[in-house]
Chain A
């Protein structure tokens, strides 16, 4: 047990280095980009009508004249102190934009995370336990089709079916257009969130189900399941008593590891539904070459992904008796 603190310390150090790497990579890629942030944000026509002096001031404002290394270091020292800079696109502090967007996205992400985990886990366990038989083939077929479906097209289909043909659900945004933010009820928020959450959960659930199925099928082939059957347990009883327990650990890891995919999926789904979350902000920042916002989004996303993996490792350590009592750290 004494190994826990150095182990977590080591992981955190590695994570910090990783985030540093992510910020360097993002910064380098954006600096290499031939797209001109001034042009992207001010517009060709406006630029043409400006005087040389105005242009110079503008370029200084966007930081075009300072060398990249210096710009990166000043960004880093600000970022560490909690100042994420000013978004070029939204003309607001990045912190404020991120706070709003993240709060919106969090609803969506949390709903999709829980739903995809429950749905995918359940389907995967059922398919794995009935390997090769009809339920397995059915589930596998559906999940393969779903995981081959781009998230945005699934979103479009849902809009088409529920928004356009059946007209039962609103087609986008996190709230009715034009409504005062104070006047938005929880019910309205929920109604607007159903389709994006469904689109995001379905693609996530398919991958989780396929992975869980593999694990479950392996467990079903194991000697201890065979012994349980030899001792008179029925297949459902063996699944409940031994299968779930043994599939839970890899399932837990998978559930946390899929955070990255979920974040990526949310970029597409938010775009389809014009949902004002972090994913949509990422696209806007990318199209507008909004370096400070994009940096913040990538670093926060990478931190979420890393945090997910770390949580999974720690939870596995707490749950798995071989680690908890045997003292073998993952």
Chain B
């Protein structure tokens, strides 16, 4: 099947000052690779600080001014240049952001969904979009501060599908929602995928991601450490020790916490980022500059001695 979005070796870095006058480079994302096909939901799962939000903003070309991006992003096989991105944003690529702060506090919901379109057809479309997510036409006349958290998410979703997108990037769209509202949200993503769109679902919630995703990419400290099919989890066909630990930490699977913390973004690290917490760490894990991200047992993994497959 054709590939919608292909990210290869993406890295995002920042220039910061240390105490005093020295400058250093801080990596938010390093060597991240990911592909999304039409009709597919890919979840990018990671703890906070793993580079999830940077990923969303990096794809959309909306990184903060002090950042630097390298690597390649391809859209339908062609490089996604800033120029091309301008024509795609809001038309073929849509963002579903985190919450109500992404709505202009001084503008009514209706005009915000239509963003600039004023004709009758646009009115019908915005009303339809709201109706799709169970919001009545009276919502159009409300200001963002008059919306509940769940309503705000649905308004943002309605804004995203106002022009039918080919790719939906949902950046943590569920925190603060109760389980039922979150499940309804997942249903909406499934609908979008069934309509042929690709969905990149960025979240910290592995359990929620597994209810809807076809594939899961696990992020750790700014790198993709594993890419697995959703069913690999239940079958425990996992490749990277971090993914395994994530899975085991879920309430239904042993509730086993993982010691230690994710390393902070820092300048020019070498070796495996997970090494300090890894039960199978070997000396060479810390020596290699960049641990390669390679295909492994039907998925991909960034580990020198992964599990669930044969040594090549």
Contact = CB atoms under 8 A, between A and B. Distances in A.
Direct A–B contact present (CB less than 8 angstroms): yes
B101 A231 contact: no
A226 interface: yes
Given A229-B89, A231-B159, A322 B115 contact: no
B116 A237 contact: yes
A224 B159 contact: no
Interface string A123-152: 000000000100000000000000000000
Contacts of B97: 223, 227, 230
A322 B105 contact: yes
Given A229-B62, A230-B62, A223 B106 contact: no
Interface of B: 57, 60, 62, 65, 86, 88-91, 94-95, 97, 101-107, 115-116, 143, 145-146, 156, 159
Given A230-B89, A231-B94, A237-B116, A322 B143 contact: yes
A245 B107 contact: yes
B104 A245 contact: yes
A183 interface: no
A228 interface: yes
Nearest to A322: B145
Nearest to B171: A230
In the complex, which of the residues B86, B88, B90, B106 has the most CB atoms of chain A within 10 Å of its own CB atom? B106
Contacts of B62: 226, 229-230
A242 B143 contact: no
A224 B100 CA distance: 9
Contacts of B156: 227
Closest 6 CB pairs of A and B: A232-B90, A231-B90, A227-B102, A230-B95, A232-B89, A223-B101
28 contacts: A132-B65, A224-B101, A224-B103, A226-B57, A227-B95, A227-B159, A229-B62, A230-B94, A230-B95, A231-B94, A231-B159, A232-B88, A232-B90, A233-B90, A233-B115, A233-B116, A237-B116, A241-B104, A241-B107, A241-B116, A242-B104, A242-B107, A245-B106, A245-B107, A246-B106, A321-B143, A322-B145, A325-B143
Given A132-B65, A224-B101, A241-B115, A231 B89 contact: yes
Contacts of B57: 226
Interface residues of A, number: 24
Contact of A230 (B90, B104, B145): B90
A230 B62 CA distance: 7
In the complex, which of the residues B62, B97, B102 has the most CB atoms of chain A within 10 Å of its own CB atom? B102
A145 to B, nearest CB: 25
A113 to B, nearest CB: 25
Contacts of B90: 230-233
Contacts of B145: 321-322, 326
Contacts, number: 72
A82 to B, nearest CB: 43
A251 to B, nearest CB: 13
Nearest to B87: A232
A38 to B, nearest CB: 59
A125 B197 CA distance: 38
A223 B105 CA distance: 11
A78 interface: no
A320 interface: yes
A242 B102 CA distance: 12
A223 B116 CA distance: 18
A321 to B, nearest CB: 5
Contact of B102 (A223, A249, A321, A325): A223
Interface string A213-228: 0000000001110111
A217 to B, nearest CB: 11
A221 B97 CA distance: 15
Contacts of B89: 229-232
Contacts of A322: 105, 143, 145
A180 to B, nearest CB: 53
Given A237-B116, A325-B146, A231 B95 contact: yes
Contact of B106 (A231, A234, A321): A321
A248 to B, nearest CB: 8
In the complex, which of the residues A223, A232, A234, A320 has the most CB atoms of chain B within 10 Å of its own CB atom? A232
A200 B146 CA distance: 43
Contacts of A241: 104, 107, 115-116
A229 B95 CA distance: 10
A312 B143 CA distance: 22
Given A241-B116, A242-B107, A245-B107, A232 B91 contact: yes
Contacts of A246: 104-106
A132 B102 CA distance: 24
Nearest to B56: A230
